[in-house]
Amino acid sequence: MSGWGIMPENIAIIDYGVGNLFSLQSSFAAIGERAAVVRDPAEAARAARLLLPGVGAFGDAAARLRSSGMDRAILEALDRGAALLGVCLGMQLLFDESLEYGRHAGLGLIPGTVRPIAELIPPELKIPHIGWNALRFRRESPLFRRIREGDHVYFVHSYAAVDCDESVIATADYGAPLTAAVQWGRVYGCQFHPEKSGDVGLRILKAFCETEARPC
Amino acid sequence: MITKRIIPCLDVRNGRVVKGVNFTDLRDVSSPAELGAYYSAAGADELVFYDITASAEGRKLFTEALTEVARRVFIPLTVGGGINGLADFERVLGCGADKVSVNSGAIRDPALVGEAAKRYGDQCVVLSVDVKRVDGVFRVFARGGREDTGLEALSWVRRCVDAGAGEVVVNSIDTDGVKGGFDLELLSAVCQRVRVPVIASGGAGSIADFVSLFETIPDIDAGLAASIFHFGEVKISELKRVLAAHGIPMRQLHSGGGQV
- Is residue B260 a part of any domain in this protein? no
Nearest CA in chain B to A26: B71
Could you read off the pLDDT of A128-143 as tens digits, one per residue?
Answer: 899 999 999 999 999 9
List, for residues A84-128, the tens digit of each pLDDT value: 999 999 999 999 999 998 999 999 999 999 999 999 999 999 988
**Residue A188 burial (C-beta neighbours within 10 Å; 0-12, 13-18, 19+):** buried
Catalytic residue among B11, B51, B176, B183: B11
Q: What is the mean pLDDT of chain A?
A: 93
Determine the distance in angstroms separating the CA of A71 from the nearest CA of chain B, rounded to an integer: 24
At residue B252, the pLDDT reads: 85
Does B135 qualify as catalytic in the annotation? no
Cβ A147–B195 below 8 Å, yes or no? no
The closest CB to that of A152, out of B93, B196, B251, belongs to B251
Do A148 and B255 count as a contact with CB atoms less than 8 A apart?
yes
pTM of the model: 0.93
Nearest residue of B to residue A30 by CA position?
A: B72
pLDDT tier, A7 (very low <50, low <70, confident <90, very high otherwise): very low
The mean per-residue pLDDT over the stretch A182-206 comes to 97
| Residue that wins the pLDDT comparison between A215 and A3 | A215
Q: For residue B255, tell me if it sits in a domain.
A: no
pLDDT for B7 equals: 98
Q: Do A29 and B71 touch (CB under 8 A)?
A: yes
Name the pLDDT band for A6 (thresholds 50, 70, 90).
very low
Under an 8 A CB cutoff, do B197 and A203 touch?
no
Q: Has residue B54 been placed in a domain?
A: yes
Residue contact A196–B76, C-beta within 8 A: yes
Q: Where are the alpha helices (DSSP H) in chain B?
A: 32-42, 56-72, 86-93, 104-108, 112-120, 153-163, 184-193, 207-216, 227-230, 236-245
Distance CA B239, CA B210 (A): 8
As a whole number of angstroms, the distance between CA B73 and CA B71 comes to 6
Q: Which of A27, A30, A131 sits opposite B3 (nearest CB)?
A: A131
Query: What percentage of chain A reaches a pLDDT higher than 90?
Result: 86
> With 0-12 CB in 10 A as exposed, 13-18 as middle and 19+ as buried, what is B183?
buried
Q: How many domains does chain B have?
A: 1
A143-161 pLDDT, tens digit each: 999 999 999 999 999 999 9
Confidence of residue A213 (pLDDT cuts 50, 70, 90): confident
CA distances from B234 to B26, B205, B226 (A): 17, 8, 10
Residues of chain A found within 8 Å of residue B167, distances taken between Cβ atoms: 130
pLDDT in tens, A164-181: 999 999 999 999 999 999
- A210, A48 in Cβ contact below 8 A? no
| Per CATH, domain A11-210 is 3.40.50.880 | yes
List the CATH number of the domain containing B73.
3.20.20.70
Residues of A known to be catalytic = 88, 193, 195
pLDDT of residue A10: 81
Q: What is the mean pLDDT of residues A64-91?
A: 96
Three-state helix/strand/coil letters over chain A? CCCCCCCCCCEEEECCCCCCHHHHHHHHHHCCCCEEEECCHHHHHHCCEEEECCCCCHHHHHHHHHHCCHHHHHHHHHHCCCEEEEECHHHHCCEEEECCCCCEECCCCEEEEEEEHHHCCCCCCCCCEEEEEECEECCCCHHHCCCCCCCEEEEEECEEEECCCCCEEEEEECCCEEEEEEEECCEEEECCCHHHCHHHHHHHHHHHHHCCCCCC
Whether B256 maps to a domain, the answer reads no
- How are beta strands A95-98 and A104-105 bridged, if at all? antiparallel
pLDDT band with cut points at 50, 70 and 90 for residue A4: very low
**Cβ within 8 Å of residue A178, ≥6 positions away:** A117, A120, A121, A129, A160, A171, A172, A191
Which segments in chain B show pLDDT lower than 70?
A: 19-27, 254-260
- Report if residue B206 sits inside a domain: yes
What confidence score (pLDDT) does residue A5 get? 42
Asked if the model's pLDDT at residue A1 lies above 50, the reply is no
Question: What is residue B23's predicted lDDT score, i.e. its pLDDT?
Answer: 57
Look up the domain containing B35 and give its range.
Answer: 5-245
Among B1, B123, B256, the residue with its CB nearest the CB of A148 is B256
> What's the complex ipTM?
0.92
Q: Is the dihedral of CA A57, A62, A65, A66 positive or negative?
A: negative
**Does residue B250 lie in a domain region?**
no
Q: Is residue B257 part of a domain?
A: no
